[in-house]
Amino acid sequence: MRIHHLNCMTFYQGYREITHCLLVESPDGLVLVDSGLGLADYTHPAWRVKVMTAVDRVPCDLEETAFRQVQRLGFSPRDVRHIVLTHLHYDHSGGLPDFPWAKVHVFENEYQSAMHPRWYHFLDMFGVSPSHWAHNPDWVRHFEGWRDWYGMPALPVMGGDEPTILLVPLPGHTPGHCGVAVKSDSGWLLHCGDAFVRSMEVDPVAPRRHFPFWFWPIERVMFPARQQQRLRDLLRQHAGEVSLVCSHDPHVFDKLVSKSPQQ
Ligand SMILES: [Zn+2]
């Protein structure tokens, strides 16, 4: 399957950050992995989105929406049949209303924690925007049919008996946060969402920490260290078979886009 790399939301928090989404050409139509911000987030944003885009200093650029980028690539937005989400934070779910006909695949734990947040997830009060699912999307909530994917428990999303897209739970950043594994023409790509923010953190030989935004260290200390260790082990054991990207690393994204002839 062919993968296009899209930045669906630039923002600034001391550095230029991007929001890396994938557009996959699959036999079942186009599949979007994460969706950045959507058209309505720029034209008439909900209050939580307004707060977060001000904090994140998001420039208003409708051309960065997945909707417009799908069109620029020569597809119809109607061709997007599936959206697979790493998690339900506002910077990943904003595109849902732009593709109301698409099936939206999510890990059951993530769905539950976003729809029925516990008090100790109060930080997500702002991170999650219910406006993104006010149109009542065609949810596909995954929780059964577990199988092994390179030593990690995973839930098949597409591809039948030989899954080509799977949800790989990497909880921490949110309670049901997942990576999304995609079988491409050149091996497996695991989109790790916000399990790390710079690839140097999961360098299997010499990992280094990245200290970016004022609010990150809180989540950092609480959660993702174990997931990052699992990802380093994955790279160590399966070098050459699996590569990783995350949502907000501009350097990896820029490299991938410069290699791609279309963008
Ligand atoms: Zn994010």
Cα angle, residue 84 at apex, residues 238 and 61 outer, rounded to 5°: 110
Q: Are the C-beta atoms of 109 and 195 separated by less than 8 Å?
A: no
Q: Enter the tokens of residue 32.
A: 């979007």
Separation between Cα atoms, residue 137 and residue 151, nearest integer Å: 32
pLDDT tens for the chain, 263 residues: list them: 999 999 999 999 878 899 999 999 999 999 999 999 999 999 999 998 998 888 889 998 999 999 999 999 999 999 999 999 999 999 999 999 999 999 999 999 999 989 987 766 665 666 889 999 999 999 999 999 999 999 999 999 999 889 999 999 999 888 899 999 999 988 999 999 999 988 998 998 888 877 665 455 455 445 578 899 999 999 999 988 999 999 999 999 999 998 875 54
Q: Can you read off the two tokens belonging to residue 25?
A: 């050409």
Write down all domains in the chain, each with its CATH number in brackets: 2-259 (3.60.15.10)
* CA 253–ligand 1 middle distance (angstroms): 14
Question: How many angstroms separate the alpha carbon of residue 161 from the centre of ligand 1?
Answer: 31
Which DSSP symbol is given to 14? S
In angstroms, the Cα distances linking 3 to 20, 102, 183, 223, 254 are 12, 18, 9, 30, 15
CA 239 to centroid of ligand 1, rounded, Å:
26
Output the pTM of the full model.
0.93
Ligand 1 centre to CA of 173 (Å) is: 9
Amino acid at the residue 229: Q
